[in-house]
Structure 1
């Protein structure tokens, strides 16, 4: 049986297929679909030797190759870490110098550096269908688990203890010194230069979801009184200085993007009014693309909090509409909860330039083709992790795990299971229970990447229906 899909009103999908030139680089997006960043955790991992860690593997090449064939206008990798002492998780891609490593060098080559060769192959895989391919650069700051970093760097010494911080132990952060800030800026710029040479079309700075750049932006985590604290311009200084450094060190074709929080849903947090001011500042520093998202580890917001957003599907649409009028040249994309073509077209009509899709891209790597060429009007509606619910705090977590299971299947050249099929979801839930039990007792050497689907025979990638008996 064909998958069950979210239902959409009848609407012309052609605006989603229109091209989009970028304002500060020469790149042109072939359409309005963005495959947004999701954590893959498929890179090499050796906790004793960072020189052997964070290198793209064949799994990553296959995963991004399948996305590359999917008709996306823009594809963004999961976070590539710029400081090997601060990881989002073992298995992250890493691209940074460390005390025991000289990587990356701008003068490196594929002949002498297997890491560089792997990034070249990754860029080729992601671009092979014509998408603009961006590397998301990230520094987790205080959102580094205690087991990996006991004393992480942050804007200030505010420890993560609420939300996800109440479930897992995170280190006690220390305020970044000016010398540390200089090293952080250099790491981002060096990574951008390295990736441009490897063939990437550009980078996206991850300044959302409570990671380090967001920690500097937010008044809840930035209590500094120096030139990196206080006013919005000061709190954004680390970002704007990185942007200026990247623009000065890369060519005119290089794309510069950023992911920011439209709102944090926290008292005294980074609110929509400041986000509107921020986008004007970002344009001054020549960011081509601004992706609007929301939420942090402390206050996850990747679900609907009120009926008005549920009806319009996008979690952050009301906040985005406050921000977009302040954008003059940069291109804005909205991520979170969008599942039907009707809502996608509505987003464009509200002034946004495109839509970001995460979990649906893992269930359907060729979703843009399904919409633009095959006439599909909605994403597959999963039996678990449904975004069309109110107060879905647990639903989003299960949905994120389902997306990870799908990514694992795709990386192994398997067709992702149909999340609207009961037997397939039963297999996922069996694997999910095992993953949850294994997570708190995993060893430092173990990469607990994603849920393995139980008791469901995998089909080769591209085989949608089971073979005939």
Structure 2
């Protein structure tokens, strides 16, 4: 079988992806405060991606609850789905589908609920009103790695994240109906499908895993882990209950959309493993998430499962033996291969097996091709690389057609990455989480630059990435960009997020 990245592949629902390159979800930070519909900036940004032959384009997280935002400028599902409410979303779907060269990327809307990770002040609720979560456990509570952050960081951390309110059965049913409303929004506005965000410590991940990632730095994941679900009812993390929340949502969505409507799920393998864990603990995490994926595949209703985490540029990626110390990178590389093998040996009919979308660290053509040939994935998700190089599919296709020069570019990175600007300034040494916000901010400003360029001239090339833009300058520019209607309470919230900010890049 030819595993070229430009081979089409069929989804279980019957839809075809024209190639294996997927623009992974990225948080855009472009909606109005405090959340709202897509706007001209979104249209400008996605029109650039639509030009260049991506097989599938996944939006940034579209929040189901206006009271559970991430960083305040989230796209939000409207409370009603009348013709006026649908218009901005119809325009976004049209933009994604509207490539000039006749190609038609599949448009996928990512649906998300932040749960306990919805911050105070900018989360869409009045100050100090707690968010909803499976259990009343604050983000990062009780974990040893959270100690010693420094007095300022601790103060801001506790001011930003509230102890959540445990969801009642009625709360759970309402959230499930919100996911259904989000799927109907996607279908009625012309999207090809949805992706349910069950990773990175968001609400669905909080239900599925007793330990979840909440935050990360630009170079490595940093644990803020704790027992997120200590329920004793039918939505507990007991094996017979652990995927109930997700399965009921999927079942409800399938009842109201056509069979050709795409449903994907995002899971992060690192959500199930703690940093520096012993090998047996890592194996237990692998077993748990693999059980979840087996269960999800057995439903016969899911089209793709995205597994994010890890880095394909690590030298030990292709040779990850069981005797090695299982850090997160090794765990991710080994796990993705295990999932592919396990699913194709399962009793699930071949035509119903979800495709595996792998996201995280793809930086050169050789690693994209190696992931396919080594059967680590069916689809290849690219997030930050798509921001640095929106025209990446077109560039790769041109390079492949020029076989004489293949040896000179196959191992070269797609683009220079601004890792140096992610380092925190010396004046905030005790705030260990600031690096995550710096990385997020730099790419957010880059996306805004692309969007603004396309609004001014849709036929223009996007501006080159500004590698001279410092990390703290990027953070400042990300947050000072607001309209005159912003209330003083938002300013306070922004100040706190500058000190302690969540990692929301891979949404």
Give TM-score, length-normalised by structure 2: 0.72
Match of 1:81 among 58, 63, 81: 63
Whether 1:362 aligns to 2:369 is: no
Question: 1:27: how far off?
Answer: 1.1
Match of 1:280 among 275, 279, 294: 294
Whether 1:380 aligns to 2:415 is: yes
Counterpart of 1:308?
316
Cα 1:442–1:346 change in 2 (3 A) is farther
Whether 1:123 aligns to 2:93 is: yes
Match of 2:46 among 52, 64, 70: 64
Distance in 2, matches of 1:94 and 1:72, equals 25
Counterpart of 1:159?
138
Question: 1:381: how far off?
Answer: 2.1
Question: 1:202: how far off?
Answer: 0.3
Whether 1:181 aligns to 2:181 is: no
Q: Is the 8 A contact 1:263 1:275 kept in 2?
A: no
Counterpart of 1:192?
183
Match of 2:208 among 193, 217, 228: 217
Give TM-score, length-normalised by structure 1: 0.77
**Stretch deviating more after TM superposition (207-216 or 321-330):** 321-330
Distance in 2, matches of 1:316 and 1:70, equals 29
Unaligned runs of 5+ in 1: 1-12, 48-52, 97-102, 295-301, 449-469
Question: 1:316: how far off?
Answer: 2.5
Cα 1:65–1:281 change in 2 (3 A) is same
Cα 1:331–1:432 change in 2 (3 A) is same
Question: 1:70: how far off?
Answer: 1.9
Unaligned runs of 5+ in 2: 211-226, 321-328, 345-352, 401-408, 423-431, 455-460, 495-507
Q: Is the 8 A contact 2:56 2:108 kept in 1?
A: yes
Within 5 Å, give how 1:19-418 maps onto structure 2.
Answer: 19-23=8-12, 25-45=13-33, 47=34, 53-96=35-78, 103-105=79-81, 108-109=82-83, 113=84, 115-129=85-99, 130-147=104-121, 148=123, 149=125, 150-161=129-140, 168=157, 169-219=160-210, 220-264=227-271, 265-266=273-274, 271-285=285-299, 286-294=301-309, 308-309=316-317, 316-328=332-344, 329-351=353-375, 352-375=377-400, 377=410, 378-384=413-419, 398-413=438-453, 418=464
SS at match of 2:57: strand
SS at match of 1:75: strand
Cα 1:304–1:36 change in 2 (3 A) is closer
Question: 1:438: how far off?
Answer: 6.1
Aligned length in residues: 402
Superposed CA deviations along residues 66-112 of structure 1, whole A, max 9, x for unmatched, are 1111211111000001011110121111004xxxxxx223xx22xxx
Question: 1:274: how far off?
Answer: 1.4
SS at match of 1:118: helix
Superposed CA deviations along residues 221-259 of structure 1, whole A, max 9, x for unmatched, are 111111111323412111111001111110022000010
Q: Is the 8 A contact 2:437 2:475 kept in 1?
A: no
Q: Is the 8 A contact 2:360 2:382 kept in 1?
A: yes
Cα 1:430–1:81 change in 2 (3 A) is closer
Q: Is the 8 A contact 2:77 2:182 kept in 1?
A: yes
Cα 1:437–1:411 change in 2 (3 A) is closer
Aligned CA-pair RMSD: 3.3
Distance in 2, matches of 1:38 and 1:125, equals 17
Q: Is the 8 A contact 2:3 2:372 kept in 1?
A: no
Q: Is the 8 A contact 1:262 1:293 kept in 2?
A: yes
Distance in 2, matches of 1:348 and 1:443, equals 51
Distance in 2, matches of 1:369 and 1:432, equals 29
Question: 1:307: how far off?
Answer: 5.8
Question: 1:275: how far off?
Answer: 1.5
Distance in 1, matches of 2:20 and 2:421, equals 24
SS at match of 2:453: coil
Q: Is the 8 A contact 1:232 1:274 kept in 2?
A: no
